[in-house]
Amino acid sequence: MASPGLIYAVYNSLSPRFVPMIEYRIENRVATITLNRPDKKNALNPAMVQALNQAVEDAMANDEVRALVLAAHGDVFSAGADLESLQAMQSWTEDEQRQDSLRLAKLYQRLYSGPKPVIAMVQGHALAGGCGLVSVCDWVFTVPEARFAYTEAAIGFVPAMVSVFLCRKMGEGHARPLLLNAARITAAKALECGLVYRIVEQETLAATVNEFVQQLIKLNSGNSLALTKKLLSQNSGQALEQAMINAIDVNVEARQSEPCRRGVAAFLNKEPLNW
Residues annotated as catalytic are 152
CB 248 within 8 A of CB 92: no
Alpha-carbon distance of 127 to 147, in angstroms, equals 8
CB 230 within 8 A of CB 254: no
Q: Count Cβ atoms within 10 A of the Cβ of residue 66 and give its class: 0-12 exposed, 13-18 middle, 19 or more buried.
A: buried
Q: How many other CB atoms are found less than 10 A from the CB of residue 19?
A: 12
User: Strands, DSSP E only, in 29-181?
Assistant: 30-35, 67-72, 118-122, 126-127, 139-142, 147-149
Alpha-carbon distance of 204 to 219, in angstroms, equals 22
Alpha-carbon distance of 244 to 135, in angstroms, equals 26
Alpha-carbon distances of 87 from 81, 84, 90, 97, 260, rounded to whole Å: 10, 5, 5, 12, 52
Strand 147-149 and strand 67-72: pairing? unpaired
Element (H, E) at 153: none
